[in-house]
Structure 1
Amino acid sequence: MSLPEYIPEIKSFLTEHGFPEQVDAAVILGSGLGSFGDHIENSDTIPYEDIPSFPVSTVEGHSGSLIFGEVGGKSVVAFSGRFHHYEGHDFAKTVLPVQLASVFGVNKLIISNAAGGINLRYHVGDLMIIDSIIKQFMMVSEPAVSTWSSRFEEYALEVKQIARDLGIETQMGTYLYVKGPNYESKAEIKAFRKMGGDAVGMSTAPELIEAAKLDIKTAAISLITNAAAGVTGEKLDHAEVKEAADKKKEVFARLVKGLIQQF
Structure 2
Amino acid sequence: MRFLFVGDSMTIGRAGEHSWRYRMWQHLEASFDGSYEIVGPRSGPYAPEADAAPATDDGDPAFPPEAHRHLAGWGEGWLHMAPIIGETVAEHRPDVLLVSLGLIDLGFYTNSGQTVVNTHRFIAEARAAAPTIRMVLLPVIPNVRARTDAPFAAECDRFNELLAKTVADLDTAVSPLLLASRPSSYALDTDTYDGTHPSPTGEHKLASAFASAMHQGWGLGGRYEPASDEGVRVPGTGG
Regarding TM over 0.5, the answer is: no
TM-score range, shorter chain: 0.3 to 0.5
Structure with greater helix share of residues:
2
Structure with greater strand share of residues:
1
Q: State the TM-score, normalized to the length of structure 2.
A: 0.39
Q: State the TM-score, normalized to the length of structure 1.
A: 0.37
